[in-house]
Amino acid sequence: DKSGRLVFANSGFKNLFPRVASQLAATPDREALHARLASFGYIDPAHGLDAQNDGMSTGRREAFITETRLLDDRVIRTFERPIAEGGLVVLRTDVTEERRREKSIIASRDILARQTHELIRVADFEKRANREKSVFLATMSHEIRTPMNAVIGMSDLLLDTPMSERQQEYLRTIHTSSE
In angstroms, the CA 96 to CA 167 distance is 92
Alpha helices in the chain, H assignment, sequence order:
11-16, 18-21, 30-39, 55-58, 96-159, 165-178
Which is higher by pLDDT, 36 or 134? 134
- Supply the pLDDT for residue 55: 45
- Per-residue pLDDT band for 126 (boundaries 50, 70, 90) equals very high
Q: Kindly report the pTM of this predicted structure.
A: 0.56
- Supply the pLDDT for residue 54: 46
Which is higher by pLDDT, 69 or 110? 110
pLDDT digits (tens, 9 = 90+) for 44-67: 877 766 644 444 444 556 888 888
Cβ proximity of 86 and 2 under 8 Å: yes
Which is higher by pLDDT, 97 or 173? 97
In angstroms, the CA 117 to CA 130 distance is 20
Please give the distance of CA 7 from its chain centroid, rounded to a whole number: 44
> Which amino acid is present at 107?
A
Instruction: Look at residue 65 and give its three-state secondary structure.
Output: strand
**What is the rounded radius of gyration, in angstroms, for the C-alpha atoms of the chain?**
42
Calculate the average pLDDT of the chain.
84
**Other CB atoms within 10 Å distance of the CB of residue 91:** 13
